[in-house]
Amino acid sequence: MKRDRLDQTLQAAIAEGLLPAAASRPSGDTRPWPVVLLTALGAWLAAVPLLGVVGLLLGDLISRGAGPYFIGALVLAGAAVVLRSREVPLFFEQLAVPGLLVGAGALGFGLFRDLPDQAAAGVLAIVAAALAVVLRQAWLRVLLGAAAAVLTAIACAPQRWFHAGRSGVEAFWLAWHVGFGLWVSWQVIQQRLFDDGLHARHAAALESFAAGWLLATLGGLAWWSGMTFLVGASLGGTLVGDVARELAQHRHLLWQWPALQTVSAGLAIVAALWAARQWPVLRQPWLAGVAVVLAGMAWFLPALGAVWLALAWCVTSQRWRQAGAAALAAAWIIGSFYYQLQWPLAIKALVLVAAGLVLGGLAWLAHRGGRSAVVPASEQVLSASSAARAGIGLCAAAVLAVANLGIWQKEDLIAHGQPLYVELAPVDPRSLMQGDYMQLNFNLPADLQGRLDGLVTLERPQVVARRDARGVATLQHIDDGRPLADGELRIELTPKDGRWILVSDAWFFREGEAERSAAAKYGEFRVSPDGKALLVGMADAQLRAIHP
């Protein structure tokens, strides 16, 4: 199928005069992919001990003076020469790939040692871009584009980018949007300067590099948005999870910076206008309603506007894989709305339901109008098929349904779950209060904690707790299936950082409430009959709720 489409495109280009009559399809790589994969695996395994020996021999040179720059530049140049050669055997070609990593690592070691982090990252981003120009392999250009995007974001980030704090929230938002702006500029350059057929090689190189850049930028915007519904909590304990959690502590401060929200909403409107410009069939009144809904969502979620524009651009240019990545990033960011701490769960559910109903109504109007409208034959190619529209609608409905189902379940548990208090155990005072959240450690018997530390199971274990007259629970043992006695109930545990915890190990509160939250002695839970538990608040020694 791909070969047929390529032949048709080639013949069309020749007919339009974009290519000479003698133009032919480039010869493809006839080597079967299993052979390439096994050869690459053998080359990488052979390269590991070889690079280790070279590192031991040159260890003193690499670690001092100009050694990292000399070794890094030499290895990068050698790897680039090998990868550019057309006659090099496959084994040696694959040996050059770890050479790129070693050369970049040595160069990065010297740069980050001698320069500020931002400057070092900027220089490495330029090196990655230069390598993408030199090399011919499209997959390497994609990887180099992704690396250059991440390094550019670091170059625009705060000095202590691992501990960004309040000012880092805005700085990281700006960093990823700078990268997005560069991607948009490259798309314009590609359309305006490289669309004449004479610069096809340059357009192909820019396309691969920009694809990797966009994928990294979409990932950065999703990461900046914090945890997403039912997924993001698994990032806890990783470097990415720690940085995202630190940014999330101050996410509510974005309401003090409406400029971010305004830019995000503006980008969403630009996305709708761009789609209508590229697809005339979309120039209908209902599109204005869709644009308003998307802009409203982008206002609440400042990283969403750029993702909407990337999605519109990729769909209208038929970059379907990149469009799929943009749609996934949009779903992630919308899911992060669940963790906006300044909104009650009921309000968040109402906002999502309202957005879903409005979009559903507009889709119905568009469908009715589409059946009666006469679309010119030249524009029918631009209209999506009924199956595609139905698939998009079902995906959007599924995202909203999953988010709202989870919100409804939490609200139902809060309303009807059995109240329960669990005593807090002492924690390191240095980690008790960290920004706008407090570290929690619930009081578990030593023998129970010992059994949980070594417990490996595919299912979430439950512990049996005894509830006294005040509602205070004493955790006793892991549930073994025996019937519960009077006053006993089951509580399901949650995996976190390779251990089992009681629902959560942190409690977020509003800015300025640290002193009041420091008086907490108990965690207040709601527990369902099947053991599902939800931490709903903190209480003092007299079990009085600590309200924000």
Say what the alpha-carbon torsion angle 292, 293, 296, 298 is, to the nearest 10 degrees.
-110
Mean pLDDT, each 10-residue run in order, the chain (548 residues):
63 73 63 66 69 65 75 85 77 76 84 88 92 86 93 80 55 89 91 72 85 94 79 46 47 59 92 90 82 88 92 91 93 81 69 80 72 46 52 68 73 81 62 54 70 69 83 81 82 75 70 64 84 82 75
Phi and psi at residue 462, to the nearest 5°: -125, 145
**Is residue 506 within 8 Å of residue 522, measured between CB atoms?**
no
Residue 421 token pair: 């208090």
Give the type of residue at 386: S
CA-wise closest residue to 103 among 77, 125, 129, 64: 77
Quote the distance between the C-alpha of residue 16 and its chain's center: 42
Phi and psi at residue 417, to the nearest 5°: -70, 160
Determine whether 440 is exposed, middle or buried from the number of CB atoms within 10 Å of its CB (0-12, 13-18, 19+). buried
Q: Write down the pLDDT at residue 511.
A: 56
CA–CA dist 158, 154 (Å, integer): 8
Determine whether 149 is exposed, middle or buried from the number of CB atoms within 10 Å of its CB (0-12, 13-18, 19+). buried
Quote the distance between the C-alpha of residue 472 and its chain's center: 40
CA–CA dist 290, 323 (Å, integer): 18
Q: Write down the pLDDT at residue 25.
A: 65
Q: In the β-sheet with 437-439, what is the strand arrangement from edge to edge?
A: 433-434, 437-439, 506-508
- The maximal CA–CA distance of the chain, rounded, in angstroms, is 90
**Is residue 71 within 8 Å of residue 120, measured between CB atoms?**
no
Q: Write down the pLDDT at residue 130.
A: 92
Q: Can you name the residues that pair with 199 across neighbouring β-strands?
A: none
Q: Write down the pLDDT at residue 370.
A: 56
Q: Can you name the residues that pair with 44 across neighbouring β-strands?
A: none
**Is residue 411 within 8 Å of residue 346, measured between CB atoms?**
yes
CA-wise closest residue to 103 among 72, 126, 124: 72
Q: Write down the pLDDT at residue 173.
A: 86
Angle among Cα 238, 243, 244 to the nearest 5 degrees reads 95
pTM: 0.66
Crossing angle of helices 345-372 and 386-416, rounded to 10°:
160
**Is residue 284 within 8 Å of residue 261, measured between CB atoms?**
no
Integer angstrom CA distances of residue 102 from 11, 115, 176: 44, 20, 27
Residue 239 token pair: 């470097």
Q: Write down the pLDDT at residue 196.
A: 65
Residue 435 token pair: 């920004």
CA–CA dist 385, 367 (Å, integer): 11
Residue 217 token pair: 């930028």
